Chains A and B, each alone.
Chain A
Amino acid sequence: MRNGALSESPAVRRTLIALAVGFLALFLVLPLAAVFAEALRRGVDLFLAAFTEPDTQAAIGLTLLVAAIAVPLNLLFGISAAWAVAKFEFPGKSLLVTLIDLPFSVSPVVSGLVFVLLFGAKGLLGPLIDDWDFKIIFAVPGIVLATIFVTFPFIARELIPLMQEQGTAEEEAALTLGASGLRTFLTVTLPNVRWALLYGVLLCNARAMGEFGAVSVVSGHIRGLTNTMPLHVEILYNEYNFVAAFAVASLLAGLALVTLVAKSFLERRYGDQLARAHRH
């Protein structure tokens, strides 16, 4: 199509490509490169030494623990919500779908704040919890709750549109042939949505491990006890221990890269089995 009225002139084309590439390089690629450059600034030995710190190891452990609780719970919720919403008709359905997306429009700080207002020392249930000698705020349960809140919609919003699109015909056929409800779900529905499920879990996990604002509000920043990796990055950074801060950050950046690669692989290879929004 060399017609000048149907496409841009080569000069315009080149300028636009240069603008887009330059903008993305400046705002996306350089920050990512900076993380690794700063982490390795004083050599590999100091970079590796950062991970032998007990506090760093505790932060990594806590981050893994929190994700290991939050992701499966949200997975269970995502499947339940998607089954109810996509396979049945009931009044108030669109309200339910809107409410599921609600945590995405709440500031991370507010997401943490609501749990402080609920369980904090001066919170609604604070005195009650004090009597039980059980801590939620400034302890691991609060971190888990805040993480579940911010990652709440990820899996549900991948499954709902896809399962709605797929309809109920295949499940009805399986039931007619005598399969139980659970068997129908495991052998008919689940294989149909497995890549979307994985896609949702990937995004949910990335956010669960990387969440900063909400977790920061409820954590209390107790080293070795309530410090997740992103919070540990902040502490190290504020102590001017830049190499260690960027070393831990590089681990999180690595996680982000793996997530991106896996995500775009799923979009390219199994795009037709994902929610419509991710099909290229």
Chain B
Amino acid sequence: MSDAALRGGTPPGVRWRLRGLSRGFPKPSALPGFGITFGFAITYLSLIVLIPLAVLVARAADLGLDGIWRVATTPRVLAALEVSFFISAAAALVNAVFGTIVAWVLVRYDFPGKRLLDAAVDLPFALPTAVAGIALAALYATNGWIGSLFAPFDIKIAFTPLGILVALIFIGLPFVVRTVQPVLQDLDRDVEEASATLGATRAQTVLRVVLPALAPALLTGVAMAFARAVGEYGSVIFIAGNMPFVSEIAPLLIVTRLEEFDYAGAAAIATIMLALAFVTLLAINALQSFSRRRFGHA
């Protein structure tokens, strides 16, 4: 394209500016290449993401709202959605507490091995979920390193809902740490000093000055961890035991429906999960724009 443009009469910048002016899309610019890059990006996005997702929604729409409702309220689907929903929420709460502590320690304190620990936080992003799944199952089984510590107390972790909780804590942790950490880093120490000058104890300052400022970021991180946990599959199925009504997660039920060639049933459960993810995404966006308005950063 560039060679032709070089040899041709009109310099590319001018050509694009003229075209931009005539269409108003994009706004006039001296830079070339909008047409080809925008065109390719939109085509690729449509082919890979938008059309396939539209097909899923269309498939579910065939069932109608009452059809989806009927699928959603069959006892087994309802149980799986409940397992996914509640255990994801519990894992997000655990991560809210420990993720904040980890972020706090990484930002505010110095100790040996801190950089290593900081890098390790991203492990769940980098480690393939199947590897995490079998590793956690091996660790938390009754004969595993950790599971054997609980076995004498008759507590089973792997192959019970507790195992699902462990896996979802694992995959959700970096979301909380990585959203809280930068906000904590940018937090103005002046307000803490002001609070101390006014006679607040350290605990009061942390609880009433620092934590409220962290709250939007923390909520965003928790929502992201929750959204990821609801859809998680690889790390969970190895440690869950996958008992219907007890430890069967919604994504696994989709796979089961597909293996039975019940495409409509699979699409219905998938649509419910998609709707759930969409609502969470909206909540995250609302939180972030609130946070930007209130604190000047997301």
Place the interface of chain A in its size category: 35 or more
> How distant is A128 from chain B, measured CB to nearest CB, in Å?
14
| Chain B residue, CB-CB nearest to A261 | B119
A230 touches B130 (CB 8 A): yes
Per the bound structure, the CA–CA distance linking A237 and B130 in Å amounts to: 10
A81 touches B37 (CB 8 A): yes
Taking a contact as CB atoms closer than 8 A, the residue among B38, B119, B185, B233 that contacts A213 in the complex is B233
Tell me if A245 counts as interface (CB < 8 A to partner B).
yes
| Chain A residue, CB-CB nearest to B40 | A80
Tell me if A206 counts as interface (CB < 8 A to partner B).
yes
A149 touches B127 (CB 8 A): no
Residue numbers in A under 8 Å from B254 (CB-CB): 107, 109-110, 113
Per the bound structure, the CA–CA distance linking A152 and B267 in Å amounts to: 22
Tell me if B98 counts as interface (CB < 8 A to partner A).
yes
Per the bound structure, the CA–CA distance linking A185 and B11 in Å amounts to: 16
> How distant is B267 from chain A, measured CB to nearest CB, in Å?
6
Q: Mark A75-98, 1 if CB is under 8 A from B, else 0.
A: 011011101110111110000100
A5 touches B202 (CB 8 A): yes
Residue numbers in A under 8 Å from B215 (CB-CB): none
Residue numbers in A under 8 Å from B109 (CB-CB): 13, 16-17
Tell me if A52 counts as interface (CB < 8 A to partner B).
no
* Segment among A43-51, A192-200, A248-256 that sits at the interface with chain B: A248-256
Given the known A-B contacts A100-B45, A110-B274, A152-B49, are A264 and B119 also in contact in the complex, defined by CB atoms under 8 Å? yes
The residues in B between 249 and 280 inclusive whose CB is less than 8 angstroms from any CB of A are: 251-252, 254-255, 258, 261, 263, 266-267, 270, 273-274, 277-278, 280
Given the known A-B contacts A213-B234, A230-B128, are A19 and B41 also in contact in the complex, defined by CB atoms under 8 Å? no
Tell me if A102 counts as interface (CB < 8 A to partner B).
yes
B101 touches A23 (CB 8 A): yes
Besides A84-B38, A110-B274, A210-B128, 11 other CB < 8 A contacts? A6-B202, A80-B38, A89-B27, A96-B45, A107-B270, A108-B232, A114-B52, A117-B55, A117-B59, A203-B126, A213-B129
Residues of A within 8 A of B (CB): 3-9, 13, 16-17, 19-21, 23-24, 26-32, 34-35, 38, 73, 76-77, 79-81, 83-85, 87-91, 96, 99-100, 102-103, 105-110, 113-118, 120-124, 145, 148-149, 152, 168, 171-172, 175-176, 180-185, 203, 206, 209-213, 216-217, 229-231, 233-234, 237, 242, 245-246, 249, 252-253, 256-257, 259-261, 263-264, 277, 280
